[in-house]
Amino acid sequence: MSVLATIDWIFIAIYFAIILGIAWWVIRQKNETSDDYFLAGRNLGWFVIGASIFASNIGSEHIVGLAGSGATDGVALAHYELHAWCLLVLGWLLAPFYMRSKIYTMPEFLEKRFSTTSRYVLSIISLIAYVLTKVAVGIFAGGIVFGVLLPEVNVMGLNSFWVGSILMIILTGIYTVMGGLRAVAYTEAIQTVILILGSILVTIYGLDALGGWGELKRIAGSEMFNLWKPLVPEGVEGTWAPVKTDTRMAWYFNSNYPWVGMLFCAPIIGLWYWCTDQYIVQRMLGAANLTEARRGTIAAAFFKLLPVFIFIIPGIICFALAASGKMPGIANEILDSEGNIINANAQQVFPLLVANILPPGIRGIVVAGLLAALMSSLAGVFNASSTLFTMDLYSKFRPNVSEKQLVRVGRIATAVMVVIGLLWIPVIQGSRGLYDYLQSVQGYLAPPIFVVFFFGVFNKRLNAKGALAALLVGFVLGLFRLIIDTPVMLSDNFTYEEGSFFWILNNMFFQYYSLLIFLISAITMVVVSYASEAPAWEKLDGLTISTVSSEQRAETKSTYRTIDIVFSVLVVVLILAAYLYFQG
């Protein structure tokens, strides 16, 4: 039986009308040049940039996953959300390099700093990663949402998982193909507002159903509100041992997140994602100028602080409602016979809250927010992938093609990503463990990319040979781990012989393995670079900290605004306040 009333459907219809109306208005604008299509004419304002970055980051899998982690581990995974400071690094440190270079893509920056080959390698790695993670996981989480909220939907033999996923992919694909980054950015700005509003309503109604914040802390217990306790299991062995962890490697649902990994590995992944990933940085590249670009990242940093309270806290609320006996329906879904949460069902907590605590009308707004999260994340990856393929691969092999041809190829590439998304549906639906497995992929792919970008900007002696070696060695190590993990993740009956080399690797906590990749990639880049010739000046001019000219420094400083400094400091203060508050 549907949990949506007529008034809910009306609000959902209004949401689609608004999104499609904005998309239609944008599509009618001219998108005849590559600048127009891929970077919105480099004319985006700070709010659109900030909202678009946030909306791209917060997909439905993010909501589902963070709420699930709240139900199982409390605020432990808030560490990742409090990495909003990484966006300040993007805006204040890296944005001047990116904006000065007039690049379309992150691999293009590597070409300017190192070599064309490194550009190709990063483009291919990024495209593979987008298909395996962002598209696949987004569809998986979207299917969960539709399955809980519309379980009775059946069209021509297709259940709600198929119907919802196909509908979202096609609708998102249409306006992304036609409108490019401008359509993506402006629709994401509206979707951010709807998503935040809907999630705040879930938190408010959830606390009301439970009896308030004090009652939540009483039922859930102080450990659920301790950022550090879940990261330090009993005994030193539980904290440091690189093996004997959950072989399912759950990104959001594993209660064993040792502080060593969180302290050293999580920032590496965070800086890679927020500062070097095309999926995120492309929005900033569409800024009208450096001031708007930096201000957009500051706005995104403020938005990024919200998930702790509008996604993780609702997960804790759902657990408390079930544990207290106030919501037997929810308890039957997520608790076992002894009252312990069933980790495998934790991803259902957010849609369960929507279905059980929200009144008609409000429920429609929140469902619209969930749809917004799904559509915005898919639109972002479709657009980023088409930009990478067109500008980094196609245009390099066909350098003399017209602007119209580049736009045409970009649209074709986006359409291909839509088709790939559709083809992924049966794979994800049939592989229950795939979701947890995919969350570790970025931990395996991020370290070498982080190394070549940050080491390359800070050390002018590092050269193209070192960068290429680090990328290839790091990618091989990450791919090797993925190959080892895959059979275990996709089959409950498969296991390696205990004590064997493959067993040790498969059981090594993914953050520890990620740190291993980082160390090997860093050593490789430094050793190979210093063992070969120094880079030519054209690979350094204005592209490293020590080779920025006095004129370039003065130009960058001229974009500093007091209000931007104040709000950046405020972001840091709020992060520190959150760490101080969440100590149990």
Q: Which of 510, 426, 438 is nearest to 62 (CA)?
A: 438
pLDDT digits (tens, 9 = 90+) for 376-388: 777 878 888 888 8
- Rg of the Cα atoms in the chain: 23
The residues of the chain scoring below 50 in pLDDT are 1, 230-255, 430-435
Q: How far apart are CA 318 and CA 330, in angstroms?
A: 8
3-state SS assignment for residue 326: coil
pLDDT score for 251: 34
pLDDT score for 437: 55
Residue type, 463: N
Q: How far apart are CA 529 and CA 230, in angstroms?
A: 41
**CATH number for the domain whose boundaries are 6-25+44-581:** 1.20.1730.10
pLDDT score for 240: 36
Q: How far apart are CA 149 and CA 145, in angstroms?
A: 6
Q: What is the 3-state secondary structure (H, E, C) of 255-290?
A: CCCCHHHHHHHHHHHHHHHHHHCHHHHHHHHCECCH
pLDDT score for 547: 92
Cβ atoms of residues 175 and 27 within 8 Å? yes
pLDDT digits (tens, 9 = 90+) for 423-442: 766 655 544 444 455 557 78
pLDDT score for 431: 46
Q: How far apart are CA 262 and CA 77, in angstroms?
A: 9
CA separation (Å) from 453 to 119, 463, 535, 579? Answer: 12, 12, 15, 29
Give every CB contact of residue 147 below 8 A, 6+ residues apart in sequence: 159, 160, 161
Q: Which of 473, 477, 474, 468 is nearest to 529 (CA)?
A: 468
Q: Which of 304, 309, 308, 311 is nearest to 353 (CA)?
A: 311
Q: How far apart are CA 8 and CA 541, in angstroms?
A: 57
pLDDT score for 424: 62
pLDDT score for 92: 96
pLDDT score for 303: 92
Cβ atoms of residues 556 and 98 within 8 Å? no
